Amino acid sequence: MSCTCGRSPTGKCVGWHKLSEEEYQEKKIVWEAKQKAKENAA
């Protein structure tokens, strides 16, 4: 299912549309850190 709220880092709905701005920013930081760790491990 595609995401139209613009918050999903993948373009598919991950439920971030219902988060407050503060919660969204925290989730985004964690997601970006995980992605960077995956890149470094490869």
pTM, two decimals, is 0.80
Query: Would you call 13 exposed, middle or buried from its count of C-beta atoms within 10 A (0-12, 13-18, 19+)?
Result: middle
How many whole angstroms separate alpha carbon 29 and alpha carbon 24? 9
How many whole angstroms separate alpha carbon 38 and alpha carbon 2? 24
Centroid of chain to Cα 32: 7
E runs forming strands in the chain: none
Tokens 């407050």 belong to which residue?
20
pLDDT digits (tens, 9 = 90+) for 3-42: 999 999 999 999 999 999 999 999 999 999 999 999 999 7
pLDDT of residue 1: 82
